[in-house]
Amino acid sequence: MFDQDEIELQIDDDPDEIEIEVIENGAQEASPEDRRTDTGADEPGLADDDGSSDVEKLQKEIDHLREMYLRKLAEFDNFRKRIERERTEREKLAGLDVVQDLIPVIDNFERALEHASESSLEALEQGVGMIAKQLLDVLERRGLEIFDPVGELFDPESHEAIQRVEDSDLPPGTVAWVLAKGFRYGGRLLRPAMVGVVAGNAERVPSSESEEGSML
């Protein structure tokens, strides 16, 4: 309770409106808004300092992430260049083993040519045949497949017919002779065999129209 000297009662002309003002120690009581203002005044710059600190932390994190990104990008670029160099080197050396295996074949060809005038035709033929076999052995060891389809049924996937052959001793569609052998490497056809095929096609199926004509 306040003393009477601390309470000031003001009565206007209208008796229903009475204003009471409490005075304590000669000062008016501060409102909540005034208290909040005073509190902020006591700690100047506190909110600004916290905001600046957060911004600096975020900027440091961004700089760190950017540095990491640039470093990883440089590492990836170096890795890509190294892989490209290794691939180029492998391509250059891919045929090295084959070339080394062919060197003895070249030597034998040169020897055969040097002694061709001194050798008989039969000896020269035998020597060239041996060299040819040596060459084919080298290529076959490296994966080359050579096929000679004489007597086989014509296969349009592997054979190229260059002539029709009339031969009653062989069934129609059979390869009668081979002008050039076929080659495959790693299962891939390099060149089809060029062949002569017996006239006719054993696998030909009559059409529906021809069947209807025969029934009539």
* Domains within the chain, CATH numbers bracketed: 4-41 (no CATH), 145-216 (2.30.22.10)
| Rounded Cα–Cα distance for residues 183 and 144 (Å) | 7
Mean pLDDT value across the chain = 78
| Rounded Cα–Cα distance for residues 165 and 177 (Å) | 9
> For 151-182, how does the pLDDT look when each residue is reduced to its tens digit (9 = 90+)?
999 999 999 999 999 866 889 999 999 999 99
pLDDT for residue 192 = 97
Q: How confident is the model at residue 32 (pLDDT cuts 50, 70, 90)?
A: low
Residue 12 has pLDDT above 90, yes or no: no
How confident is the model over 184-207, as a mean pLDDT? 77
Residue 30 has pLDDT above 60, yes or no: no
Does the predicted TM-score (pTM) go above 0.95? Answer: no
